[in-house]
């Protein structure tokens, strides 16, 4: 009996009547979703994957079945953390599974990972955050081969200790290689930068304008107290040490804040949603040109440098151009450099399959525009169907990776 049947009811007659399984996942009365791991991964140890810290959901496998829980919430909230612990025990009890392997995020400070490490007599498999995003989409699409994963996300712990969030990854279920990313920059104030996009915007502005940052920030961010602008400007001028990262969510938030669209957020893709909504409403989009950008390719790592993008977007904002125009030009820019990066990496990755995943691909406009551009270059697109592209789907990817590694005799 599969995990889906066990969770629906203990009575076999009702199991047959109420449980249906599909490749894209089947919704159960408990509010969870059942997926099937690919045939090459349908046997192995039972796995508990504890997901991410933000927008958490957990996943439990039993044989070929992977059972993704409902969204639990941010584990920094005490009530959500209690629900997280209870959901794990509920799934284990109803599925009659005691996992032999626990998969978790590789970030040592992630609350879900810290809790996972409290389990006894199990093997632990740490999984890089954005790799888990790609693997989640692969399970959703039934894919087991090589893919080029485009992960446009908020932030996650990279295997080099920096913040990742704008990634081009060559991936299979058992491993990945970072082929490219958005240019990295300092995050003034660390996590506070994600909650206050004007901080990230000032970092980009500093890259583009240098010592004129404070003057420009004063023009753009009139709602921000002057003493805060002074503080961040001084930090940037002194080159103080802050977390280093490449977040597409932060990039979108910086442009949105510069265009006066929003200044405060919770770090959950609101900049992308706002810009996508404005771009979709823009008039005469065909006549609007994208912003410039640069792609730096060392032969082993491709870096998208958006400094010229920020410069022109800020110039538009200072000149009083409509936010809709800035949004259209910016989205066209993101689509263009995504297409160009994938075309450059196709031969290196030795695959024509592209996965689009991450928090920002919740924006329908961004997803549709990037998909159209990549299909125009002959790529086969893999996008999410039943598994969410955001943090809620992370645990499904963690479970897939852990099963693949254990099948290959790897993992801790």
* Segments making up each domain of the chain, as ranges: 185-330
Under DSSP, is residue 377 helix (H, G, I), strand (E, B) or coil? coil
Q: What are phi and psi of 240, to 5 degrees?
A: -60, 155
pLDDT of residue 187: 78
Q: What are phi and psi of 158, to 5 degrees?
A: -85, 160
pLDDT of residue 228: 93
Start-to-end CA distance of the chain, whole Å, equals: 29
Q: Is residue 297 pLDDT above 50, yes or no?
A: yes
Under DSSP, is residue 150 helix (H, G, I), strand (E, B) or coil? strand
pLDDT of residue 6: 32
How far are the Cα atoms of 155, 205, 322, 349 from residue 202, in angstroms, in the given order?
18, 5, 21, 35
Q: Which helix (H) or strand (E) holds 172?
A: strand 163-172
Instruction: Identify the band that residue 26 occupies on the pLDDT scale cut at 50, 70 and 90.
Output: very low
Mean pLDDT for 3-13 is 31
Higher pLDDT, 267 or 339: 339
Q: Which residues of 104-113 are buried (b: 16+ CB within 10 A; e: fewer)?
A: bbbbeebbbb
Higher pLDDT, 83 or 196: 83
Instruction: Identify the band that residue 268 occupies on the pLDDT scale cut at 50, 70 and 90.
Output: low
199 contacts 206 by C-beta, under 8 angstroms: no
β-pair partners for 170: 148, 177
How far apart are alpha carbons 317 and 257 in whole angstroms?
Answer: 10
Mean pLDDT for 253-265 is 79
401 contacts 133 by C-beta, under 8 angstroms: no
- What pTM, to 2 d.p., does this model score? 0.90
Higher pLDDT, 22 or 172: 172
CA dihedral 315, 318, 322, 326 (to 10 degrees): 30
Give the CA angle between residues 29, 33, 39 to the nearest 5°.
135
How far apart are alpha carbons 347 and 345 in whole angstroms?
Answer: 6
Q: Is residue 358 pLDDT above 70, yes or no?
A: yes
Mean pLDDT for 244-253 is 90
Comparing C-alpha atoms, which of 208, 213, 223, 215 is closest to residue 313? Answer: 208
Q: Which helix (H) or strand (E) holds 175?
A: strand 175-182
95 contacts 102 by C-beta, under 8 angstroms: no
Between strands 147-157 and 353-357, the pairing is: parallel
Query: Which class is 185-330 in CATH?
Result: alpha beta
* Residue 398: burial class (beta carbons within 10 Å; 0-12, 13-18, 19+): buried
pLDDT of residue 348: 94
Q: Is residue 284 pLDDT above 70, yes or no?
A: no
Helix axes 394-407, 129-141, angle to 10 degrees: 90
pLDDT of residue 43: 87
Q: Which residues of 250-263 are buried (b: 16+ CB within 10 A; e: fewer)?
A: bbbbbbbbbbebbb
How far apart are alpha carbons 168 and 275 in whole angstroms?
Answer: 22
Among 164-173, 247-256, 281-290, the minimum mean pLDDT is found in 281-290
403 contacts 47 by C-beta, under 8 angstroms: yes
Q: Can you list the alpha helix ranges (DSSP code H) found in 240-322? A: 248-258, 270-281, 307-318
What percent of the chain stands above pLDDT 90?
67
Q: How many CA atoms lie within 13 A of 283 on its CB side?
A: 1
Instruction: Identify the band that residue 210 occupies on the pLDDT scale cut at 50, 70 and 90.
Output: confident
């Amino acid at each position: 009996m599969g995990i889906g049947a066990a969770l629906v009811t203990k009575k076999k007659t009702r199991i047959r009547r109420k449980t249906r399984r599909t490749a894209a996942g089947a919704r159960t009365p408990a509010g969870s979703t059942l997926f099937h791991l690919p045939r090459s991964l349908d046997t192995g140890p039972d796995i508990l994957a504890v997901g991410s810290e933000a927008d958490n959901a957990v996943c439990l496998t039993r044989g070929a079945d992977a059972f993704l829980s409902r969204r639990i919430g941010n584990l920094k909230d005490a009530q959500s953390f209690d629900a997280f612990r209870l959901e794990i025990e509920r799934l284990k009890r109803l599925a009659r599974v005691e996992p032999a392997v626990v998969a978790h995020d590789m970030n040592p400070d992630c609350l879900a990972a810290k809790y996972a490490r409290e389990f006894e007599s199990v093997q632990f498999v740490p999984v890089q955050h954005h790799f888990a995003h790609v693997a989640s989409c692969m399970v959703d699409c039934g894919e087991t081969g090589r893919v080029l994963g485009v992960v446009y996300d908020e932030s996650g712990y990279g295997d080099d200790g920096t913040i990742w969030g704008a990634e081009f990854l060559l991936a299979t279920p058992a491993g990945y290689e970072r082929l490219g990313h958005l240019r990295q920059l300092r995050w003034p104030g660390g996590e506070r930068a994600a909650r206050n996009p004007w901080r990230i915007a000032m970092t980009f502005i500093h890259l583009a304008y240098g010592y004129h940052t404070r003057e420009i920030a004063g023009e753009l961010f009139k709602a921000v107290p002057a003493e805060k602008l002074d503080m961040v400007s001084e930090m940037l001028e002194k080159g103080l040490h802050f977390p280093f990262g490449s977040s597409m969510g932060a990039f979108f938030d910086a442009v949105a804040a510069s265009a006066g669209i929003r200044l405060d957020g919770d770090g959950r893709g609101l900049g992308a949603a706002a810009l996508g909504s404005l771009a979709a409403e823009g008039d005469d989009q065909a006549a609007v040109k994208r912003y410039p950008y640069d792609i730096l390719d060392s032969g082993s790592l491709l870096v998208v440098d958006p400094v010229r993008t920020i410069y022109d977007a800020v110039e538009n904002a200072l000149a009083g151009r409509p936010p809709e125009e800035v949004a259209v030009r910016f989205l066209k820019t993101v689509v263009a450099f995504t297409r160009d990066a994938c075309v450059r990496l196709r031969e290196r990755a030795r695959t024509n399959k592209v996965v689009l995943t991450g928090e920002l691909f919740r924006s329908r406009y961004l997803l549709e525009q990037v998909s159209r551009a990549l299909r125009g270059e002959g790529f086969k697109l893999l996008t999410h169907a039943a598994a969410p592209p955001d943090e809620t789907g992370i645990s499904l990817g963690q479970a897939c990776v852990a099963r693949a590694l254990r099948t290959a005799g790897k993992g801790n």
